[in-house]
Amino acid sequence: MTELTVLNGAAIEGLLTIPMAVEAVEQAYVEKSKGDAALWPMVFHEFDPGHADLDIKSGNLDGLGFYGLKVVSWFGANPDKGLPALYGTSLLFDLSTGAPKALLNAGPITDFRTGAAGAIGAKYLARPDAKTLLMAGTGALAPYLIAATLYLLPQLETVYVANPHHPAQSAAACAAIVPQVEKLLAPCGGCHAEILPAPDLETAAKHSQVILTATPARQPFLKAEWVQPGTHISCVGADMSGKQEVDGALFASAQVFGDDTAQCLSVGECEVPYKTGVFSGNICEIGQVITGAAAGRAADSDITIFDSTGIALQDIATAAALLQAAQKTGQGQTVTL
């Protein structure tokens, strides 16, 4: 019998902040780059292709003393039943004994850690004089990506929000996103940028020095000729073979960074350009840039791309931070297993 902390969605939303998520995800990337962490093989199963699938991501994060897993199940028909399409469930284990330590609702963790990932890419790769951000995608991740990026790049003045596939919906989506961003940034200085619906994707892309993409696109929507020299792009949407958001031609001359090289080349934004031969496959892992083991942006005029496919270590690090915060404040429910 061992004691385990249960952190449900409400508890996590009460505990987790943008700075916590950013710190945890940076730590995960750094541990990976130092070789003190490992990703284990991903389990992927399609119950009904295109309608219901699942993945299990797992790994160990030695520096934090934990290993863990996250099960993400997607059932496309759930919303018709009044249920969420996605369920995320995480287990955290003590690396020194193997004892289970926490069960967590991975839904809000995924939102925060994915937002942090895109923002960390921008922090280390965007030009320091970047003033304008384009958020391409208006789904659940958009507020987290915007908030984390504004937190890490306080010099940003303007954010354009675009729904690349339904431009007419950008304004309504933006209106819904603004209060969410404000709420996320309230504990860390508030929101000092203006968040506006993109006039149109092309114009917004041409005027932005940082672009974040987070859609389930299978056809690129961001054209190479719209992307100005010196732009940084964090690609978050592609996490499965066949997904692609950004014109593959950009990879021919961009500096390309990623969270995990193998995963980027097999299921990330890099996949299609790599498999079609446009991209050499030369990816620098972001952890190397954070530690200084590798250089980031080489020239002001370079286009940089960060392919954030999402790795188990982000979830484990964030879950570990949450467990610590819960223990300090006495939150969460303790169960004996």
Residue number with CB closer to its own copies (71 or 196) = 71
Residue number with CB closer to its own copies (80 or 129) = 80
Residue number with CB closer to its own copies (9 or 19) = 9
Cβ 44 to its own copies, closest distance in Å?
Answer: 8
φ, ψ for residue 142, nearest 5 deg: -55, -50
Residue number with CB closer to its own copies (216 or 229) = 216
Instruction: Give the sign of the dihedral formed by CA 248, CA 306, CA 236, CA 172.
Output: negative
Residue from 32, 34, 57, 70 carrying the catalytic annotation: 70
Cβ 144 to its own copies, closest distance in Å?
Answer: 19
**Residue 101 annotated to the active site:** no
Cβ 307 to its own copies, closest distance in Å?
Answer: 24
**By the criterion CB under 8 A, which residues form the site for its own copies?**
1-2, 6, 8-10, 38, 40-41, 43, 45, 47, 52, 54, 56, 58, 60, 67, 69, 71, 73-75, 78, 81, 83, 86-87, 89, 91, 93, 95-100, 103, 105, 333, 335-337
φ, ψ for residue 102, nearest 5 deg: -155, 145
Residue number with CB closer to its own copies (93 or 279) = 93
Cβ 50 to its own copies, closest distance in Å?
Answer: 15
Cβ 227 to its own copies, closest distance in Å?
Answer: 37
Q: Identify the residue whose tokens are 């004691």.
A: 3
Q: Identify the residue whose tokens are 């995608």.
A: 137
User: From residue 15, how far is each of 116, 143, 330 by CA, in Å?
Assistant: 16, 17, 11
Active site residues: 70
